[in-house]
Chain A
Amino acid sequence: EADIYQTPRYLVIGTGKKITLECSQTMGHDKMYWYQQDPGMELHLIHYSYGVNSTEKGDLSSESTVSRIRTEHFPLTLESARPSHTSQYLCASSELDSRSYEQYFGPGTRLTVT
Chain B
Amino acid sequence: KNQVEQSPQSLIILEGKNCTLQCNYTVSPFSNLRWYKQDTGRGPVSLTIMTFSENTKSNGRYTATLDADTKQSSLHITASQLSDSASYICVVSDRGSTLGRLYFGRGTQLTVWP
Measuring CB to CB, which residues of chain A are less than 8 angstroms from any residue of chain B? 1-2, 4, 9, 40-45, 48, 90, 92, 97-100, 102-103, 105-108, 110
A-B contact pairs, 23 of them (CB 8 A): A2-B45, A9-B41, A40-B106, A40-B109, A41-B106, A42-B107, A43-B89, A44-B104, A45-B102, A48-B99, A92-B43, A98-B100, A99-B93, A99-B95, A100-B32, A102-B46, A103-B102, A105-B43, A105-B45, A106-B43, A107-B42, A107-B43, A108-B43
- Do the beta carbons of B45 and A107 come within 8 Å of each other? no
- Do the beta carbons of A98 and B43 come within 8 Å of each other? no
- Do the beta carbons of A99 and B100 come within 8 Å of each other? yes
- Do the beta carbons of A42 and B104 come within 8 Å of each other? yes
SS class, residues of chain A in contact with chain B: loop
Contact check: which of B4, B32, B89, B106 meets A99 at CB < 8 Å?
B32
Contact check: which of A4, A42, A105, A110 meets B105 at CB < 8 Å?
A42
- Do the beta carbons of A98 and B93 come within 8 Å of each other? yes
SS class, residues of chain B in contact with chain A: strand
Please measure, in the bound complex, the distance between the C-alpha atom of A114 and the C-alpha atom of B2, giving whole angstroms: 35
Residues of B within 8 A of A108 (CB): 41-43
Measuring CB to CB, which residues of chain B are less than 8 angstroms from any residue of chain A? 4, 9, 31-32, 34, 41-46, 49, 89, 93-95, 99-100, 102, 104-107, 109
- Do the beta carbons of B102 and A98 come within 8 Å of each other? yes
- Do the beta carbons of B100 and A107 come within 8 Å of each other? no
Residues of A within 8 A of B45 (CB): 1-2, 105
- Do the beta carbons of B99 and A98 come within 8 Å of each other? yes
Please measure, in the bound complex, the distance between the C-alpha atom of A102 and the C-alpha atom of B106, giving whole angstroms: 19
- Do the beta carbons of A42 and B106 come within 8 Å of each other? yes
